[in-house]
Structures are given as structure tokens and as C-alpha cells.
Amino acid sequence: MSERRATVLVVDDERAIQRFLRPSLEENGFTVLEASTGRSALELAVARKPDVILLDLSLPDMDGLDVLKRLREWSSAPVIVVSARGQESDKIAGLDRGADDYLTKPFGVEELLARIRVALRHAELAARDPEPVYEHGDLKIDLTLRRVWLSKKEVRLSPLQYTLLAALVRDAGRVVSQKQLMKELWPEGGSTPEALRILVHQTRHRIEDEPVRPRHLKTEPAVGYRLEAPDE
């Protein structure tokens, strides 16, 4: 990726979590900063300008969502929100307040590293033009030609199905909330979450070999959708 070691700020007040995160992140080439309170997280974010922030929403001194809001006032560093299952509304609130992605506790290291890499890549890409061609497994999407192939065979999509894919490609690897997608697909409003779900369902039946077990277009239950990060 970059020559310099990327810095990850881990904000979590659980010692046990910090203990496993530091060695696994360091082993994978990251410099790790730790904060166990919202206040120290904000101070470290100002002083050290981390490349990625991993933010647990339950902190002893302040609401994690407030930390996120304060961060976003001056920083555009990618923030990955960490929260437990069953707290989907927190995840949605986090995405609405400018988080880039989320991780559900408990998570494995592979998942964590994948999220961090996607977040870093997006931060890098934000400065440049997006890649015009997305490739993941047997799926290929060309944004300049507005064409889609599955196993080298061109796929016919409706304009709306294509718009959905294009929107997801721009955020490939990251979760895109239902709300964000609806804004993109129906800018004048007037649609429903059901219409989005039907659209995703139909699109899956065009671009997935086995739509019930999608390999490209994943559902994030009760939050939104994720198009897998493109092949390296």
C-alpha cells in the first residue's frame, strides 16, 4: 500500500480487546495508538493524526457518537465504528454522522484487517479519480462504458439496477446504508425501502450465481448493503 506505516487509533475501554488488537495490527504493519476514553481519543486524534480510527461506541466518559461528531468537525480520517450485535440503530446513527464503516463485535482479525484496508484505500482514492473498472471474482463493472459482465458474458441490467451497482462500486468494500442508497437512486424521494430491497433482489438474480448466497453484493442486516472490495 503506502511506504510509510499507517497509524490506527484504537478507541476501546476494554483491556482484553486492546490486548488482542495491538499485536495483530502491529504484525500486519500498522502503528497502533490506544485510547480508552472519548477525551483521550480526541486528544490523540489531534496530536497524532491517525490514518484510521477504530471507535467503540460504548465509552466510559462520553457517547461514542458524540466523539464521532466532534472528530468530523475537523477530521476526514476514516472512522470504523465498533458495536455489538442487536445495536443496528447505533450503526445506522454512526454512518449518518460520518462513520465510514462498522464492525460488529465479536469480530475476527481477517474481518478487521479487510475493513481497515478498504478504509485506507478509500481515503487514498478520495484524492484521485475513482478506478473506472471494478473487478471481483467473475463480476466486472465498467463505469465509463456503463457495462457489466458476469463470467465474461455481458449482463443486461435496467438503468436503476445499473445505478445501484455504480453507487455501490464507488464505495466498494464499505457498507452503504439503506438511506444513502435511496438518496442516490431516487433523489426526488417518493420511493420506499421495500422498493430498494426488491431492486437489490432483482440485481442479485442478474449478477450472482447463487443469489441466496451472494459473493459480491452482501446484505448488512437492518443497516444496508456492501459490494465486496475489488480484487487487488
Residue 158 beta carbon to another protein: minimum distance, rounded to whole angstroms: 15
Residue 176 beta carbon to another protein: minimum distance, rounded to whole angstroms: 15
Question: Beta strand pairing status for 31-35 and 147-150?
Answer: unpaired
Q: Which is nearer to another protein, 86 or 187 (CB)?
A: 86
Q: What distance in Å separates the CA atoms of residue 16 and residue 94, rounded to the nearest whole number? A: 24
Q: Is 210 in the site for another protein (CB under 8 A)?
A: yes
Q: Which is nearer to another protein, 159 or 221 (CB)?
A: 221
Burial class (CB in 10 A: 0-12, 13-18, 19+), 211: middle
Q: Which is nearer to another protein, 120 or 155 (CB)?
A: 155
Residues within window 166-205 making contact with another protein, judged by CB under 8 A: 193-194, 197-198, 200-202, 205
Q: Which is nearer to another protein, 3 or 194 (CB)?
A: 194
Pick from 60, 61, 107, 114: nearest CA to 82: 107
Q: Which is nearer to another protein, 120 or 182 (CB)?
A: 182
Q: Is 137 in the site for another protein (CB under 8 A)?
A: no
Q: Is 212 in the site for another protein (CB under 8 A)?
A: yes
Among 60, 86, 159, 189, binds another protein (CB under 8 A): 86
Alpha helix segments (H runs only) across the chain:
15-27, 38-48, 64-72, 88-96, 109-126, 159-170, 178-185, 193-207
Cβ 161 vs Cβ 199: under 8 Å: yes
Q: What is the DSSP letter of 126?
A: H
Among 50, 214, 224, 230, binds another protein (CB under 8 A): 214
Q: What value, to the nearest 5°, has the Cα angle with vertex 221 and ends 17 and 177? A: 90
Q: What is the DSSP letter of 142?
A: E
Q: Is 16 in the site for another protein (CB under 8 A)?
A: no
Q: Which is nearer to another protein, 51 or 90 (CB)?
A: 90
Q: Which residues bind another protein (CB under 8 A)?
A: 85-86, 88, 106, 108, 193-194, 197-198, 200-202, 205, 210-214, 218-219, 221-222
